[in-house]
Amino acid sequence: MAKSSVLGYPRIGADREWKKALEAFWSGKLEETDFQAKLQEIRLDHLRKQQEKGIDFIPVNDFSYYDHILDTAVMFGIVPKRFAYDGGTVPLSVYYGIARGTKDAAASEMTKWFNTNYHYIVPELDGASPALTENKPLIAYREAKEKLGIEGKPVLVGPLTFLKLSKGYDKSETNAWLDRLLPLYVQVLQELANEGVQWVQIDEPILVTKTSDADLELLNKIYETFAAAVPGLNIMLQTYFESVENYSNIVALPVQGIGLDFVHGATGNIQSIKASGFPADKVLGAGVIDGRGIWKASLPGKLKLLDELAELVTPERLIVQSSCSLLHVPVTTERETKLTSELKNALAFADEKLDEIVLLTKALSSRNAEIIAEIENSDRTIQALQQSEERNRVAVQEAVATLSVQQPERSRPFAERHIAQQDKWKLPLFPTTTIGSFPQSAEVRKARQLWRKGELNNEQYAAFIRDQIDIWIKIQEEIEIDVLVHGEFERTDMVEFFGEKLAGFAFTQFGWVQSYGSRCVKPPIIFGDVAFTGEMTVEETKYAQSQTQRPVKGMLTGPITIMNWSFVREDIPREHIAYQLAYALRQEVEALEQAGIGMIQVDEPAVREGLPLKENEQADYLAWAVKAFRISTCTVQDTTQIHTHMCYCEFHDMIDSIEAMDADVISIETSRSHGELIHSFELNTYKLGIGLGVYDIHSPRVPSVDEMTSMIERALRVLDPKLFWINPDCGLKTRGLEETVASLRNMVDATKIAREKH
C-alpha cells in the first residue's frame, strides 16, 4: 500500500507563535527555560497535527531555532572564529550570534535558499575544525517518540548540499572537507540506527542544479560510505525544486528511496523515469503536492500521475508526498474569514495540503465513491475561480497582448539622457541618496494600527504621515543629502502597499511564511488580472517635493519584485503576470511624472529570486523580466531619471541584464558580499549610473567615516567616478532614528572627502 509523507512543516505556527517566542527571547522578555518550553510546545503541536491527519512519515528535525542550515553547521561545530566558542554544545548566544551578529562580531552572510524566498545562513568553513556537538536529529526523534508515540523520520541536510552551500574554502579542498564531515554524518546516522530509526530523509536539493563529474564522485562516495557504515538504516535521498540532473547516477546510489519533485520539474523527472526506468529495489517519493504554491491541487490530474507512477514503480513502493518542505507556504486557510469563498475554496496551505496528500494516498489503495467525489470536487472550486470577473479583465488582457509584442524603449540612449539629466539636475560629483524608507518607529506603526482600526480617520492619518515626511525632509536637508526621499511611512511593506491599491490582489489575515530567522512575510495573492485603479504614491511624494528645493525621488516597487514576492495564479504564465503589473506601474510612473516628480525609483530587489534553477531557462526569464521593467519605465521624458535598487545577491552572471534594464541609476547592496560584488564589476564596464551601498543597514552599528571611505575607494577602482552614487545598502525602515542620522552624517562626510580627492 502506498504511504504518505511530508518533507517538512512550517515552523512559525498558525499565529506566528514561533516568531514571537524568538523575539521575546532575544529582547530578554523570555527566560531561556521558558523559551525552550515554548518552542517544544510549538514543535509538538505541529507533529500532533500531522499525526492526526494521518501522515505516515512525519518529519522530525525539520524544526529549527532559526535556520536548518545554521543548525547543521552548529551541529558539526562549524562556528566562525570571531565568535567566542571553544567546543562542546553551541550555546544559544553563539547560535544567535552567528545568525544576527553581536556587538563585537558581524553575522554570517545569509542568502536565498535556491529559488525560494527563504534565506539560510551561509556556513563559513575557514578555520573550522568540525566535531559533532550534539545529535540534533536524534534528540528530535526521541522527543516525537516519547511525547507522542510518533515514529518520526529525521530530516538532515545532505553532505553534498551542505558543502556546496558553504563558503570559506577552495574548490580544490572539497574532498578534504568531505572527509572531515563524513565521519560526523556517519556518527549521527549510526546513533539514529541504534535508536531504531527506520527512515531518514537526506535532503540533496543541490542535485537539481548542474552537477559536475567531480560532484557525482563525491555523491557516490557519500552514499557508499553511508550504505557501508549504516546498512540497516533506510535513506530517502530527497531532491526538490526541479528535476534532477544525472537521473541515472542518482537512482543507482545505494539508498532505499529517491524523492523527486513532480510539480517543479515534473516533466524532466517523468521523462527520466520513463526513459531509464526506476530501480526495483527502491521506493519513490512522489512529490505531487506543491510545497511552494498555495493553490488547491487539481486532484484528478494528480491521481492520474500517481497511477502512471504506480505502474512504473508499483503502488507498494510509492510514497505520496509534498514536492518540498511545506516551510514555504502558510499554515492553514481555516482562519481566513475575509477572503471571498470563491478564492478561499481554491486555496490549500500546509494543513490543507496534508489532507490532499492523505486523500491521494487513500485513493491509491481504494477508490470508493466517496473518495472519487472528493477528488473531483477539487477541480470544481478551481473552475469557479477561473470563470470569475477578476480573471477576465478584457481591457488589461488586450493592453498586455499589445505590449508583449513590442520592444519597450526610452526615447534616447543613456549617454544622451545622462547629459540632459545632468543639465537639468546639476548634481554634484558622487550624488548622495538613500534607498527609500526611513525608520518605521513605534509611533509610525501605532498610527497605522489606529488608522486600520478606524480610530484615526483618513485625514488624521494623512496628517500624521505628512508630519513624518516633514521631519525627515528636514533631517535629509540638514545632513545635506542630494536626492531626497519621502520615507515610505505610509507603507508596511513594499509589495502589500501596492497590492492593496491594485486590482487583482487578495490579502490573507494569517498567511505568513518564514523569510529568514524570525522574519516572516505575508505575500499577497495575485489571483486575478492586475489593473491600475488610481494613483498610489503621488500624494505623499508630491507633498514631500513641495517641502524642499532638492529633488525628491518617487518610490515604487517593480513588477518582477511584486510578482516574486507574491503568491501568483497558475492559470497564465508568470511572464504575463509580470507584464500586467508592469502596465499598471507604468500608469503610476506617468502619474508621478505628471505631478512634477522628476526622479522615480522602481525597486527590483527580487529579480534574482525568480531565476529558474535550470540554466537553459534563465536567459528567457531574464529577458522578460528586463522587458517588464522597461515597460513600466520607458515612457518618461529624457530628463526624468529612472532609478532602480537591488538587494544583495549574486550579480556576476546578471550584469548584462541589469544593464539592459536601462535604469539611469541603480543602487545595489554591497557590504554583506564582502567585496565579492565589486569583484563582479571588475570584469565589466558598467555604463550607467550606479551606487554601491557603502554601509550595511542590517545592524544598528554606526559605521565610521573611514570604513565608508574605504568602501568608496574600493568601488571607484572599478567604476567610473562620473557615474558613481553614494548610498546605504538598502532601506532604513528597520533602523532607529539616532543610528540612522549618525550613519548618514558619516556617509555624507565620507562623500565630501571623496569629492575632494577625485
Extract the annotated binding site for L-homocysteine: 435-437, 488, 603
Pick from 473, 494, 634, 647 the residue near Zn ion by CB under 5 A: 647
Of the pair 329, 658, the CB lying nearest Zn ion is at 658
Q: Tell me how many helices (H) and strands (E) the chain has.
A: 27, 21
How far are the Cα atoms of 140, 243, 266 from residue 208, in angstroms, in the given order? 28, 6, 12
Phi, psi torsion values for 121, nearest 5 degrees = -85, 125
**Which residues sit opposite 153 in a β-bridge?**
59
- The answer to the question of residue 599 lying near ligand GLN (CB under 6 A) is no
Binding residues for Zn(2+): 645, 647, 669, 730
Judged by beta carbon, residue 123 or residue 731, the one nearer ligand GLN is 731
Residue 7 binding: pick among Zn ion, ligand GLN, none (C-beta 5-8 Å cut-off by kind): none
Q: Which residues pair with 154 in a beta bridge?
A: 60
Task: Indicate the pairing of strand 234-238 with strand 199-203.
Answer: parallel
What letter would DSSP give residue 406?
S
C-alpha gyration radius of the chain: 26
Q: Site for ligand GLN (CB under 6 A): which residue of 19, 448, 645, 698? A: 645
Residues making up the binding site for L-methionine: 435-437, 488, 603
Following CA atoms 16, 17, 18, 23 in sequence, which dihedral angle do they give, to the nearest 10 degrees?
90
CB of 484 to ligand GLN, least distance (A): 13
Can you tell me the distance from the alpha carbon of 228 to that of 75, in angstroms, rounded to the nearest whole number? 23
Single out the segment in contact with ligand GLN by CB under 6 A; choices: 36-44, 174-182, 633-641, 730-738: 730-738
- The residue among 135 and 699 lying less far from ligand GLN, judged by its C-beta, is 699
CA–CA separation, 673 vs 650, rounded Å? 9
CB of 252: closest distance to ligand GLN in angstroms?
44
Judging by beta carbons within 10 Å of its beta carbon (0-12, 13-18, 19+), is residue 314 exposed, middle or buried? middle
Q: How far is the CB of 394 from Zn ion (least distance, A)?
A: 36
Q: Rounded to 5 degrees, what are φ and ψ at 579? A: -70, -35
Residue 55 binds which entry of ligand GLN, Zn ion, none, with Cβ cut-offs from 5 to 8 Å by kind?
none
- The smaller minimum CB distance to Zn ion, of residues 285 and 605, is found at 605
CB of 111 within 8 A of CB of 609? no
x-marked contacts with ligand GLN along 529-558 as a string, rule CB under 6 A: --------------------------x---
What's phi and psi for 371, nearest 5 deg? -65, -45
Pick the binder of ligand GLN from 647, 663, 666, 754 (CB under 6 A): 647
What grid cell was written down for 70? 545554521
Annotated binding site for 5-methyltetrahydropteroyltri-L-glutamate: 16-19, 112, 519-520, 565, 609
Which residue numbers are catalytic?
698
- Interaxial angle between packed helices 350-365 and 32-53, expressed in degrees from 0 to 180 and rounded to the nearest 10: 30
**375 is an interface residue for Zn ion by CB under 5 A:** no
Determine the Cα–Cα distance for residues 286 and 318; give it in Å rounded to an integer: 7
Burial of 511 (0-12, 13-18, 19+ CB in 10 A): buried
Minimum separation from the CB atom of position 605 to ligand GLN (A): 4
608 vs 563, 583, 663, CA distance in Å?
A: 12, 21, 17
| Cβ-proximal residue to ligand GLN, closest one | 731
Q: 542 contacts which partner out of ligand GLN, Zn ion, none, CB within 5 to 8 A by kind?
A: none
Single-letter amino acid code for the residue at 177: W
Instruction: Give the residue, chosen from 117, 465, 731, 746, that forms a contact with ligand GLN under the rule CB under 6 A.
Output: 731
User: Minimum distance between the CB of residue 601 and Zn ion, rounded to whole angstroms?
Assistant: 11
Q: Is 706 exposed, middle or buried (0-12, 13-18, 19+ CB in 10 A)?
A: exposed
Q: By rule CB under 6 A, what string of x and - marks binding of each residue 378-407 to ligand GLN?
A: ------------------------------
CA distances from 200 to 144, 158, 450 (A): 14, 11, 49
Stretch that binds ligand GLN, among 32-40, 203-211, 683-691, 726-734 (CB under 6 A): 726-734
Residues comprising the binding site?
16-19, 112, 435-437, 488, 519-520, 565, 603, 609, 645, 647, 669, 730
Of 106, 49, 37, which Cα lies nearest the Cα of 673? 106
Which residue number, 265 or 728, has a Cβ lying nearer to Zn ion?
A: 728
Please tell me whether residue 494 binds ligand GLN under the rule CB under 6 A: yes
* Residue 436 binds which of Zn ion, ligand GLN, none (CB < 5-8 A, kind-dependent): ligand GLN
Binding positions for ligand GLN, 429-448, rule CB under 6 A: 435-437
Residue 605 found at the interface with ligand GLN (CB under 6 A): yes
Instruction: Report whether 290 contacts 297 (CB < 8 A).
Output: yes
For position 310 contacting ligand GLN by CB under 6 A, the verdict is no
Residue among 191 and 739 whose Cβ is closer to Zn ion: 739
Q: Is 608 in the site for ligand GLN (CB under 6 A)?
A: no
For position 733 contacting ligand GLN by CB under 6 A, the verdict is yes
Contact 292, 242 (CB under 8 A): no
Report if residue 649 touches Zn ion, rule: CB under 5 A.
Answer: no
Residue 374 has which C-alpha cell? Answer: 472528493
Q: Which secondary structure element, helix H or strand E, spans residue 506, and what is its range? A: strand 503-506
605 binds Zn ion (CB under 5 A): yes
**Lookup: cell for 566:** 507574491
Which of 236, 299, 530, 730: binder of Zn ion (CB under 5 A)? 730
Nearer to ligand GLN among residue 59 and residue 487 (C-beta): 487
**Residue 615: how many other CB atoms lie within 10 Å:** 11
How many angstroms separate the Cα of 197 from the Cα of each of 7, 58, 192, 282, 306?
16, 12, 5, 18, 27
Binding partner selected for residue 437 from Zn ion, ligand GLN, none, CB under the kind-specific 5 to 8 Å limit:
ligand GLN
Residue 524 or 605 with smaller CB distance to Zn ion = 605
CA–chain centroid gap for 156, Å, is 21
Q: Contacts with ligand GLN: how many residues (CB under 6 A)?
A: 13
DSSP label at 90? P
By the criterion CB under 6 A, which residues form the site for ligand GLN? 435-437, 488, 494, 555, 603, 605, 645, 647, 730-731, 733
By the criterion CB under 5 A, which residues form the site for Zn ion? 605, 647, 730
